[in-house]
Amino acid sequence: MTWRNLKMIYVRAVAPQPAPAGLSAAAVSEPPWPEPQPRVEAMEIFAGSGSMSRALRDGGASVVATCENDPRKAGALANSLPGVHNYGDIHDDSIVGHLSVMLPSPYVPIGGPAPRRRGAVAVVLVAAALVVALQLPRLRTAAPSLATTSASAAGAEEVGFEKITIYADDLLAHENVCYWVKRTMMVQDCYNVPETLLSTMLPRQIVVRFQRERVERSIGEQASEGYVAFNLQRQDRTSQAVLTCSWLVVMTLLGEIRTIVPFGTWAAADDDFVGPMDDAPLLDDGYIPPMGAADDFGAAPADDFGAAPAPDGPARRRAQGPAPGPPPGDDGFVPPPFSGDDDATGAGYYGSGGFKSWNDREFLIAAGVDTSWDGYLYKFDWRTGNFTLLLDEMVDVHDAQRAADGDRAWVLLSGEYEFGEVSLDGDATELETKVERVASANLDFNHLQLVDDDAHAVISSRTDSTIYKCDPAADQSPKVWALGGPDGDYDIVGLDGTVYPAGDSYWSGQHNAEYIGDDEYAMFNNNWPVGVGPTNNSELLVVHLDPADTYATVVWSYDTNTKTEEYGDNDLLPTGNMLGCWWQTVSRSVEDDYECKIVEVVRDTSELAVEIEFFGGEECTAGTCLVNASWYTYSVERFFSRPLVYDVTCADGFLAFTTQDTFKRSDAQAGTFQVYDAADDLVVDAVAFSYVAHWRPTYLNASIGATAGFAGHLVVANAFGTNRTVAFSCAS
């Protein structure tokens, strides 16, 4: 086999702060868990013709707002009120939907976790100044008798779902969206654009369905906080497969859009399109203790990357596109979006492949112009909406990942196939080749993941339907093993018990295959062999592989009930749920008229917890309709603005809790915790631990010497200084 190379890119960053010393190994039994406690919620809604009123009550306090005669303003006002997560359908002079309200409730201990299959979990014991940590081994049987689950996608119309509909007009209420539509369509009023044209820039509607109990599971209400982030793109397949629009979107699970900005060469050159997002309040802000943090994101600098170089000549045009004209005034003049750039890469919208969290406020994005897989690295600050070019060197944009040490990024380079370091220092870009040959040059690699502190790479070949594990440091034989496809080393046991011998594959044309811990690999199985066509419905898939065995076992699948030729995602969430996305490539129907979909699925039951459907301008009104243009997202990311801290108990002088970081990482990351008493006096100071990789739970146990009736609060922080405070009291 011929092996191809990867490349490591230096992108100057602030490394995680070193954790205090003092860790050693010891075994500690897991403490008992408290019984579940109820959560306090309230909802009260008022609606009327020609106006909107809404009141929230919590212990007698109320907030009331009205907006006369303007349903658009009414909707925008509704979303701006404290505690409002979304508003319902608002048309003309009446409100025919609802407002969904979730009031904050005081902290109560969350009930005990469901039975877990233990992976590599961390247990920390603190006794006075002594801190100990232990990685507990995973127990499993040798036979391929793992529990397997299969289910099909179904509409989330069950009782208990909250439904939110976001129309194109609701999106236009966002300053950035309205400005960009006016600029592109050359109009004065963004609401005065024919629907046929507006549908090339915005979805006709976005329908969100949310089932709280399935989202929160054993973690509790913290699991429903945070956001999903994605690059929503629209491709016109009848016009040389160009993108007609591209948006970077950050939204809550309840449909409130936190950030939405156009993603393209003109947007990179336009200082006017970014609104004052930095002043917008976070939905889940809470008490932040004095830990030296300037804000709720800790002491991390606003720009961990440093100043990106400003390329000259053609490179500047590639990175920034043509200079914008004057902002639209009363005459409504807006410069044409496609003018002024004859560079080889051309002007256009960016379409991302790689889209991963870099830190608590920035994403690392690999994106090409239109549908090209050759492009550049960017950082995206979701709080401000700004995105910045990181590297003036073309890369393969299928994937990108922050290196374990925090100072570099891993990418596949377009054409060169070298593995090296690029230092971004001023205007100089220097390349130093470090290692050679990591992956096959003849295959189509669409996913790259570094694991084991960057000692191994998991690489997915869509063309050969193969997942490789490789050793990047090996000069001659980088392949550790292959799973699936003609180069596969293991038999694969399907959900129905059918054995697929090594050299065959259970899946085909897969995307975003990655290791998720506990000897499991998740992927989006397109079931679409390259150059052949669909063989079955596409599905979310999890396969178990212990390298010591001679077989792998498919342990879970979720049928999308449609066919997706390209793209798709499947990620593990802190609750154990799976987060996925796909789009309908061939056709839609009256019953399933969405163009693309994001879902959260309860893995144990394959029930929907969240469903976000995007509908385009062409409605399917009868039978089956062919897809000529479609909205889609290559992948979707889930993240939180603070670490998760739950299952907090205190008994017999010990404080026990479970924590997970703000976003998924393929390597263990440093964390610390502190304990304060009710007077904010420090009881336990800066205990260091490591978050378990792949968003698996980290279990911690600390001796605080407290007696019955002691009340205090626990502060848990990650490597970036982002922290969460949870109150507790000791039972004995």
Each residue of 261-301: pLDDT tens digit? 999 876 665 555 443 333 333 333 333 333 333 333 233 32
Please give the residue range of the domain that contains residue 75.
50-99
- Residue 478: the pLDDT is 80
pLDDT, average across residues 688-695: 98
Band (pLDDT 50/70/90 cuts) for residue 113 is: very low
- Residue 327: the pLDDT is 36
Answer with the residue of higher pLDDT: 490 or 127.
Answer: 490
**Greatest mean pLDDT range, 318-327, 438-447, 716-725:** 716-725
- Residue 609: the pLDDT is 98
The rounded distance, in Å, linking the Cα atoms of 693 and 665 is 6
Asked whether residue 193 carries a pLDDT value surpassing 50, the answer given is yes
The rounded distance, in Å, linking the Cα atoms of 204 and 595 is 11
pLDDT, average across residues 233-251: 88
pLDDT, average across residues 23-27: 29
- Residue 252: the pLDDT is 98
Place of tokens 């509409």: 155
Task: Report yes or no on 63 lying in a domain.
Answer: yes
pLDDT, average across residues 494-523: 96
pLDDT, average across residues 242-253: 95
Asked whether residue 112 carries a pLDDT value surpassing 80, the answer given is no
Band (pLDDT 50/70/90 cuts) for residue 418 is: very low
Band (pLDDT 50/70/90 cuts) for residue 608 is: very high
The rounded distance, in Å, linking the Cα atoms of 679 and 305 is 39
Which of 639, 671, 700 terminates a domain? The answer is 639
- Residue 231: the pLDDT is 98
Which of 591, 610, 639 terminates a domain? The answer is 639
Asked whether residue 128 carries a pLDDT value surpassing 50, the answer given is no
pLDDT, average across residues 432-451: 59
Task: Report yes or no on 154 lying in a domain.
Answer: no
Percentage above 90 pLDDT, the chain? 51
Asked whether residue 117 carries a pLDDT value surpassing 70, the answer given is no
- Poorest-pLDDT segment among 111-120, 459-468, 577-586: 111-120
Residues 193 and 206 both lie in one domain: yes
pTM for the whole thing?
Answer: 0.73
Residues 688-698 as b or e (16 or more Cβ within 10 Å = b) = bbbbbbbbbbb
Instruction: Centre a 10 Å sphere on the Cβ of residue 565 and count the other Cβ atoms it contains.
Output: 17
Distances (CA, A) of 337 to 147, 185, 331, 347, 376: 54, 9, 18, 8, 21
CB 54 within 8 A of CB 70: no
User: What one-character DSSP code corresponds to residue 431?
Assistant: E
Residues 620 and 663 both lie in one domain: no
Asked whether residue 678 carries a pLDDT value surpassing 60, the answer given is yes
Band (pLDDT 50/70/90 cuts) for residue 102 is: very low
Mean model confidence pLDDT for the chain: 72
CB 247 within 8 A of CB 261: yes
Instruction: Centre a 10 Å sphere on the Cβ of residue 169 and count the other Cβ atoms it contains.
Output: 18
CB-based burial of residue 24 (10 Å sphere; 0-12 exposed, 13-18 middle, 19+ buried)?
exposed
Band (pLDDT 50/70/90 cuts) for residue 149 is: low
Answer with the residue of higher pLDDT: 117 or 343.
Answer: 343
- Residue 242: the pLDDT is 85
- Residue 266: the pLDDT is 66
Residues 623 and 664 both lie in one domain: no
Q: Which residues pair with 136 in a beta bridge?
A: 121
Residues 628 and 667 both lie in one domain: no
Q: What is the CA radius of gyration of the chain?
A: 25
Answer with the residue of higher pLDDT: 413 or 720.
Answer: 720
- Residue 18: the pLDDT is 37
Task: Report yes or no on 317 lying in a domain.
Answer: no
Residues 415 and 500 both lie in one domain: yes
Asked whether residue 334 carries a pLDDT value surpassing 80, the answer given is no
- Residue 372: the pLDDT is 87
* pLDDT tens digit sequence for 533-542: 899 999 999 9
CB-based burial of residue 139 (10 Å sphere; 0-12 exposed, 13-18 middle, 19+ buried)?
exposed
Task: Report yes or no on 328 lying in a domain.
Answer: no
Answer with the residue of higher pLDDT: 95 or 189.
Answer: 189
Residues 615 and 656 both lie in one domain: no
- Residue 166: the pLDDT is 98
Residues 438 and 552 both lie in one domain: yes
Band (pLDDT 50/70/90 cuts) for residue 60 is: very low
User: What one-character DSSP code corresponds to residue 323?
Assistant: P
pLDDT, average across residues 582-590: 93
Residues 549 and 591 both lie in one domain: yes
Asked whether residue 680 carries a pLDDT value surpassing 80, the answer given is yes
- Residue 150: the pLDDT is 66
pLDDT, average across residues 503-529: 96
Task: Report yes or no on 680 lying in a domain.
Answer: yes
Residues 621 and 726 both lie in one domain: no
Task: Report yes or no on 453 lying in a domain.
Answer: yes
**Greatest mean pLDDT range, 185-189, 474-478, 596-600, 617-621:** 596-600
Q: Which of 37, 11, 117 is nearest to 646 (CA)?
A: 37
Residues 431 and 548 both lie in one domain: yes
- Residue 393: the pLDDT is 79
Asked whether residue 310 carries a pLDDT value surpassing 90, the answer given is no
Domain count, the chain: 3
Residues 676 and 625 both lie in one domain: no
Band (pLDDT 50/70/90 cuts) for residue 156 is: low
- Residue 389: the pLDDT is 86
- CATH number, domain of 669, equals 2.60.40.150
CB 627 within 8 A of CB 615: no
Asked whether residue 241 carries a pLDDT value surpassing 80, the answer given is no
Task: Report yes or no on 173 lying in a domain.
Answer: yes
Which of 617, 639, 661 terminates a domain? The answer is 639
- Residue 335: the pLDDT is 32
- Residue 185: the pLDDT is 92
Task: Report yes or no on 200 lying in a domain.
Answer: yes
CB 707 within 8 A of CB 288: no
CB 391 within 8 A of CB 414: no
Band (pLDDT 50/70/90 cuts) for residue 348 is: confident
- CATH number, domain of 208, equals 2.120.10.30
- Residue 498: the pLDDT is 97
The rounded distance, in Å, linking the Cα atoms of 247 and 252 is 16
- Residue 471: the pLDDT is 84
Residues 634 and 648 both lie in one domain: no
